Structure 1
Amino acid sequence: MAMATNTTKDANLAKVQDVDFSLRFGYSVKKLVEALGITRKIAKTAGTVLKVYKVTGELKDGSVAEGETIPLSEYKTTYEPIGEVRLAKFRKETTAEAISNKGYKQAVIDTDQKMLQDIQKGIRKTFFDCLATGTGVASGVGLQAALAQAWGQLQVLFEDDTIESAYMLNPLDIADYLATAQVSTQSAFGMTYIENFLGLGTVFLNSSVPKGKIYATAKENIVLYYIPVNGADLGEAFTFTSDDTGYIGVHHEADYTNLTADTVAVSGVGLFAENISGVVVSTIAAPAVTPVGE
């Protein structure tokens, strides 16, 4: 007997799940891009080498006598490769028994959500690893002083530009302050953030940042590189569902040879500081302890 028209089939449900997965990821990245104020979103091809540059040099003393030769101040930029834009591939397989015992939502949809969170975590880690190599240095006793010193260093580094500052902190370093302060928090891409924190800029909180450290840079220094997974080349060979950003592609498919449901995701998203010399790593120093009896 022929199947009736408009019958809901397994493939229809998989397509809906594909769209939901890609839209959630794309929306999350969009929110992060907005929070970070990123204006440069650069589409790259796989294998493109990413580089950051450093500016070095010294300003010579300009106090020269009348008629004497003015000494030359020499500056140079050097580029350092930090890796390639790669297409990361992920796959999850769910058995028929798991779906039968736990239900489709718990076995497939909920585990898809955890997979999505882990993909985001990997992207955040790469970003924080990049910021950790910043050449600017600051420190201060306590959170507010360390933030203020990082802010001051950024004003020096970008003194010829109007910038908005961004700071990355471990949540444990700000928990005591938030316990008594009335602040409004928001979230994007698995990170909580606070706008205009202490009037210094936007603070992003994530446990990937080492406790006691602050990564600070200008929002204008952050670039989003990505491989469009909805591009023509990949589309010729594979069927992925993506949103208009092209940040991630997802495909759900049933494998009847072993009765499993596969979730396959591909993404090539990377956040980097273009000028590593414009990143300040500030240390939160503990206050000195006065010995008992003094």
Structure 2
Amino acid sequence: MKTNLALKLNIQHFATQTFPEPNLQTVPTLDNFKEKSVDFAYRFEQDLIDFQKALGITRLMPVASGMTIELFGKPEVTLANGDVPEGDLIPLSYVTPVVASTKKITLKKYRKATSGEAIQTYGADAAVDITDTALIKEVQNNVRKDLFTLVQSGEAQTNLNTGNGLQGALATVWGTLQTIFEDDTVRPIVFAHPMDVAQAVADKQMTLETTFGLNYYTDLTGTIVFTSTQVERGNVYGTAADNLVIAYIPAGTSDLGQQFGLTSDNTGFIGMKHFLHNETLTQQTLLVSGVLMFPERLDGVVKVPLASAGA
């Protein structure tokens, strides 16, 4: 019996191979989660920068986590006698800063998980992006909430013209701030409830702009009016743009950000990261942020009541 011992010749083995091979997993395909982190970090920080510009805030203060920020009232001045004879020693006057309140800035941490089933059903982009967008909006909401809480601690002022509604209240804010900051060029910023602004918008056909999740418009006096439901209805609160400060923990560029591979832009307002958690078949979003917007001088914040509905 003859046995065919000839081996089949694999012609493809001698063919010229092409690289890269089909279906090779490359860096761009595996790095999509990082791109999402950069994208969402940019969205948050760009919104906050736009809000900062709309408010006219020029003072950014990077701080360490756990730092206590002192909010000042009107300083007390002990003025020495200025009638000094020629050649005599001029007595010292003394200024005592008055700390009206303190606020500690801490790093806040948030995490969100998207299930593998949700990614399978809706696709990675839709399942992750929709929930990440909602997460970002809520973090922005908390940043605004801290600001509105501090602003609404302003001292009440008598409205010069209650019959003129919102316009009269804005005029009172403008005049009061000119008095408080008499040595400075003041750009008034006002916060009000949307329903208190609605009538003025209807009557005067004002155009609303939007930034950082807030609507705003500019009054005839140059006063910028921001609307939010977090502001008490029936009162408007105002301060000077130069009285507002943004303190933040540089989450993206700090040792923390580098150790955990957080992505951020050069502001460092937030640090963000996407990663897979195989044990639960979820794609997770990690976000850390420490941002506090506050008025440096609480005596530079005023509260003006609007006319009652029956007035």
Normalising by structure 1, we get a TM-score of: 0.87
Partner residue, 1:194: 217
Partner residue, 1:52: 71
Partner residue, 2:242: 220
Task: Report the secondary structure of 2:306's partner residue.
Answer: strand
- 1:22-70 deviation digits (Å, cap 9, x = unpaired): 010111111011111111100000011011111155999xxxxxxxxxx
Task: Report the secondary structure of 1:285's partner residue.
Answer: coil
Q: Which residue, out of 269, 272, 290, partners 1:247?
A: 269
Which structure 2 residues correspond to residues 42-191 of structure 1 after superposition, within 5 A? Answer: 42-55=61-74, 76-139=96-159, 140-141=161-162, 142-191=165-214
Distance apart, 1:81 and its partner CA: 4.1
Partner residue, 1:67: none
Task: Report the secondary structure of 1:100's partner residue.
Answer: helix
Q: In the aligned structure 1, how far is the partner of 2:272 from the partner of 2:77?
A: 51
Which shifted more, 48-57 or 276-285?
A: 48-57
- Runs of 5+ unmatched residues, structure 1: 61-72, 290-294
Q: In the aligned structure 2, how far is the partner of 1:23 from the partner of 1:58?
A: 45
- Alpha carbons 1:164, 1:220 under 8 Å: kept: yes
Whether 2:54 is the aligned partner of 1:35: answer yes
Distance apart, 1:288 and its partner CA: 4.6
Task: Report the secondary structure of 1:126's partner residue.
Answer: helix
Distance apart, 1:204 and its partner CA: 1.0
RMSD: 2.5
- Judging changes above 3 Å, is the alpha-carbon distance between structure 1 residues 86 and 58 closer, same or farther for their aligned structure 2 residues? closer
Greater fraction of residues in strand: 1
Distance apart, 1:241 and its partner CA: 0.7
Amino acid across the alignment from 1:171: P
Partner residue, 1:285: 307
- Judging changes above 3 Å, is the alpha-carbon distance between structure 1 residues 90 and 7 closer, same or farther for their aligned structure 2 residues? closer
Partner residue, 2:298: 276
- Alpha carbons 2:257, 2:263 under 8 Å: kept: no
Q: Which residue, out of 206, 211, 230, partners 2:233?
A: 211
- Judging changes above 3 Å, is the alpha-carbon distance between structure 1 residues 205 and 3 closer, same or farther for their aligned structure 2 residues? same
Q: In the aligned structure 2, how far is the partner of 1:226 from the partner of 1:165?
A: 23
- 1:157-188 deviation digits (Å, cap 9, x = unpaired): 11121111110111111112212323232221
Amino acid across the alignment from 1:53: F
Task: Report the secondary structure of 1:211's partner residue.
Answer: coil
Q: In the aligned structure 1, how far is the partner of 2:216 from the partner of 2:96?
A: 36
Which shifted more, 210-219 or 80-89?
A: 80-89
Distance apart, 1:286 and its partner CA: 1.3
Amino acid across the alignment from 1:186: E
Amino acid across the alignment from 1:207: T
- Alpha carbons 1:55, 1:75 under 8 Å: kept: no
Distance apart, 1:2 and its partner CA: 9.5
- Runs of 5+ unmatched residues, structure 2: 1-20, 80-92
Partner residue, 2:252: 230
Which shifted more, 230-239 or 12-21?
A: 230-239
Amino acid across the alignment from 2:272: V
Q: In the aligned structure 2, how far is the partner of 1:98 from the partner of 1:155?
A: 56
- Judging changes above 3 Å, is the alpha-carbon distance between structure 1 residues 234 and 59 closer, same or farther for their aligned structure 2 residues? closer
Task: Report the secondary structure of 2:73's partner residue.
Answer: strand
Partner residue, 2:278: 256
Q: Percent of pairs identical after alignment? A: 34
- Judging changes above 3 Å, is the alpha-carbon distance between structure 1 residues 235 and 59 closer, same or farther for their aligned structure 2 residues? closer
Task: Report the secondary structure of 1:215's partner residue.
Answer: strand
- Judging changes above 3 Å, is the alpha-carbon distance between structure 1 residues 257 and 205 closer, same or farther for their aligned structure 2 residues? same
Q: In the aligned structure 2, how far is the partner of 1:74 from the partner of 1:266?
A: 43
Distance apart, 1:7 and its partner CA: 6.6
